[in-house]
Structure 1
Amino acid sequence: MKTYTHLVLSAFALLSLNACKNEQITPSRGKVKFETISVSSKLGGRIAKIYVEEGQQVKKGDTLALVDIPEVSAKMMQAEGAITAAQGQLNMAYNGATAEQLSQIDGQLNSAKAQMEFAQESYNRLQNMFQDSLVSQQQFDEVKMKLNMAKAQVSGLQAKRDEVKKGTRSEQIDQAKGQLDRALGAKEEVLSASDEQYVIAPADMSVETISLEEGELLTPGYSLFNGYKTNSVYFRFTIPESKIYDYEVGKALTLVNPYTKEEIPAKIVAIKQLAQYADITSTSPLYELSESIYELKVVPTGDVSKQKFYTNATILIKQ
């Protein structure tokens, strides 16, 4: 029985060794990556409709979701009312006084002139009597004061009538224009907020995850969709310190898909050091624990639109 057990264990050991030979441990093993993208809303609201599904490919400008923002309608009504009021003020400033207003001023002016004529006649009579010492100085001064007051009232009404005829002052017109511009700006702000009800794809992308469902509340800035940019494939390799000197930025490489045997021309665009606890793409890489680890970012240099790539699929550097 013991002999049989040893034979089984030996067979397993041989199979393991053969597997190790077939699956060679190498630092040139990397992963396929895509540039990630997240889509969020600038305004908060409730998800009214989601138009896409996870895994779906979308184009730049496609509508991904509709967010219900009740405040938009109320603010639009306020903005429209402010525009109407400001436009009315500006029209009044341009048109000046109405015929009825001019008629009222003319009536006031005629009344003031009649009072002035009466005051003038009273002044003339008392002036002669004052010269004959028939009235006191006090009585004469009172009549003179009433005449001056009547003249001042007539002058004031005439000035007001002239101003009304000339039209509104330029300062009042500028003020009315400013109020109208402010109201129009408020409307533009509401229209911009209205556009934010639609969550739009900022680039060609594949939708990988959808964070909320219809009816749920979306807060401002919360990432509703996450995915990968289309045609943004790159390759990530982790290289130990002992091998990093074989590579440099700009170096051309040939990559190989181990399953389809397709070759991909590429070049290194970035090299950066990784922390010891960072994600390592190479399977069981051959490096000492004391060695630093570096990441190669490699991008294709040829047309790879007809090749299939899957996130985190294995890719090799052709030796």
Structure 2
Amino acid sequence: MKKYLVVIIAGVLLTACSNNEGTKDFIQGKTEKEQIAVVGKIAGRIQTINCSQGDFVRRGDTLAILDIPEVEAKRMQALGAVTSANAQYQMSKHGATANQLKQLNAKKGALEQQYEFAQKSLNRMEEMVKDSLIAQQQYDEVFAKYQGAQAQLIAVNAEIADVQNGVRIEQQEMALGQQDRAEGALQEVAVAEKERYIIAPQDMTIESITLKVGELALPGYTLFNGTLDNTIYFRFTLPESQLNHYSKGMDMEVIVPYKDNLKVAGVVKNIKPIGAYANIATAYPDYDLQDPLYEMTIYPKDANAAKDILNKTTVTIKNKL
């Protein structure tokens, strides 16, 4: 019984040693593709998503549409501001008609009523806040409304005085500036409206979609991750002690095991140091922790020959030791 046990253990050790020797003949690496991230510029909820993971999209394709209710509200405000500013400029330039003066007087009457109501409300609140019947914040809100009504009344009185006494050139220039400012706000809204559409910046394959319909997308948040077409390369990790066997520009043959050991002709493009142990892509059974690591990248000579190789798959090269 003991003889059989010794034979079995010896066989296991022999197999392990032979496997260990086999791993030294090849260096393992990974396939990589150039990554690209698509982010949103303004905040909004995902309204629609027009692609799925694994889809190939063209540059300019609409990947998603954001729902931004505030944009429509701001557009209406900007349109109103443009119309009002244009009317103010025309009135300052040509003077007010009798009908416009009637409109201003009617506007003044309405504002006077608002001002009187705000003043009465403020007087009531003053007594109540003194007796601690209401919170100070509630009083402050009424006081703010009173100040707003007062400012509007002062403004309409100034408008009436201008149209009655004639408008100075400085006021015409000010009205023109307000018009330009309103048109600028409208253009800003138009830009925001375009940003609702998340557009593919390049031809790419969608690898991941980070949000779902209805979720909030914040400015600068990555919505889609993808890989660029025909940008595949191979990444290997080497200890410093083996660097003398490899150099930039060297021709290499990369083997793809899952493709029935497909052989791809490549060339070494770069060799650079690796700063973190977590970046190691190759396993060395006898790796010395004191031996610094370097990353070697190999690009295929013919991109079409490697275009069907999946990203992150294992590849090998023959060890030159």
Q: TM-score, normalised by structure 1?
A: 0.69
CA contact 1:231–1:305 (8 Å) conserved in 2: no
Deviates more, 1:186-195 or 1:249-258: 249-258
Question: Does the alignment pair 1:235 with 2:234?
Answer: yes
Paired positions, count: 257
CA distance in 2, matches of 1:286, 1:34: 30
Q: In structure 2, give the amino acid aligned to 1:313.
A: T
CA distance in 1, matches of 2:59, 2:305: 18
Residue 184 of structure 1 is matched in structure 2 by: 183
CA distance in 2, matches of 1:27, 1:10: 25
Deviates more, 1:253-262 or 1:291-300: 253-262
Residue 304 of structure 2 is matched in structure 1 by: 304
Residue 209 of structure 2 is matched in structure 1 by: 210
Residue 254 of structure 2 is matched in structure 1 by: 255
Residue 279 of structure 1 is matched in structure 2 by: 279
Residue 245 of structure 1 is matched in structure 2 by: 244
Superposed counterparts of 1:152-171, under 5 Å: 171=170
CA contact 2:239–2:292 (8 Å) conserved in 1: yes
CA contact 1:27–1:239 (8 Å) conserved in 2: no
Paired residue secondary structure (1:304): helix
Paired residue secondary structure (1:25): helix
Q: Alpha carbon RMSD of aligned pairs, Å?
A: 3.1
Paired residue secondary structure (2:226): strand
CA distance in 2, matches of 1:212, 1:184: 35
Residue 29 of structure 1 is matched in structure 2 by: 28
CA contact 1:41–1:222 (8 Å) conserved in 2: yes
CA contact 1:26–1:285 (8 Å) conserved in 2: no
CA distance in 2, matches of 1:306, 1:250: 19
CA distance in 1, matches of 2:224, 2:308: 23
CA distance in 1, matches of 2:89, 2:25: 79
Residue 295 of structure 1 is matched in structure 2 by: 295
CA distance in 1, matches of 2:294, 2:94: 76
CA contact 1:25–1:283 (8 Å) conserved in 2: no
CA contact 2:253–2:317 (8 Å) conserved in 1: yes
User: Relative to 1, partners in 2 of residues 1:170 and 1:251: Cα closer, same or farther, differing over 3 Å?
Assistant: farther
CA contact 2:58–2:200 (8 Å) conserved in 1: yes
CA distance in 2, matches of 1:50, 1:202: 16
Q: Please report how far the alpha carbon of residue 171 of structure 1 lies from its aligned counterpart in structure 2 after TM superposition.
A: 4.1
Q: Percent identity?
A: 40
CA distance in 1, matches of 2:173, 2:253: 70
User: Relative to 1, partners in 2 of residues 1:188 and 1:26: Cα closer, same or farther, differing over 3 Å?
Assistant: farther
CA contact 1:31–1:314 (8 Å) conserved in 2: yes
Question: Does the alignment pair 1:90 with 2:89?
Answer: yes
Q: Please report how far the alpha carbon of residue 236 of structure 1 lies from its aligned counterpart in structure 2 after TM superposition.
A: 1.1
1:92-144 alpha-carbon deviations (Å, 9 max, x no partner): 3443454889xxxxxxxxxxxxxxxxxxxxxxxxxxxxxxxxxxxxxxxxxxx
CA contact 1:26–1:286 (8 Å) conserved in 2: no
Deviates more, 1:52-61 or 1:170-179: 170-179
Residue 268 of structure 2 is matched in structure 1 by: 268
Q: Please report how far the alpha carbon of residue 11 of structure 1 lies from its aligned counterpart in structure 2 after TM superposition.
A: 4.1
Q: TM-score, normalised by structure 2?
A: 0.69
CA distance in 1, matches of 2:59, 2:181: 34
Residue 48 of structure 2 is matched in structure 1 by: 49
CA contact 1:27–1:238 (8 Å) conserved in 2: no
Q: Please report how far the alpha carbon of residue 249 of structure 1 lies from its aligned counterpart in structure 2 after TM superposition.
A: 3.4
Structure 2 residue runs without a partner (length 5+): 101-161
Superposed counterparts of 1:107-186, under 5 Å: 171-186=170-185
Q: Please report how far the alpha carbon of residue 190 of structure 1 lies from its aligned counterpart in structure 2 after TM superposition.
A: 0.9
CA contact 2:56–2:205 (8 Å) conserved in 1: yes
CA distance in 1, matches of 2:308, 2:14: 36
Which structure is larger by alpha-carbon Rg, 1 or 2? Answer: 1
CA distance in 1, matches of 2:285, 2:237: 9
CA contact 1:240–1:293 (8 Å) conserved in 2: yes
1:5-33 alpha-carbon deviations (Å, 9 max, x no partner): 44444444444445445x43256432110
CA distance in 2, matches of 1:316, 1:242: 19
More helix by share: 2
CA contact 1:242–1:287 (8 Å) conserved in 2: no
User: Relative to 1, partners in 2 of residues 1:186 and 1:276: Cα closer, same or farther, differing over 3 Å?
Assistant: closer
CA contact 2:231–2:303 (8 Å) conserved in 1: no
Q: Please report how far the alpha carbon of residue 85 of structure 1 lies from its aligned counterpart in structure 2 after TM superposition.
A: 0.9
Paired residue secondary structure (1:231): coil
Q: In structure 2, give the amino acid aligned to 1:231.
A: N
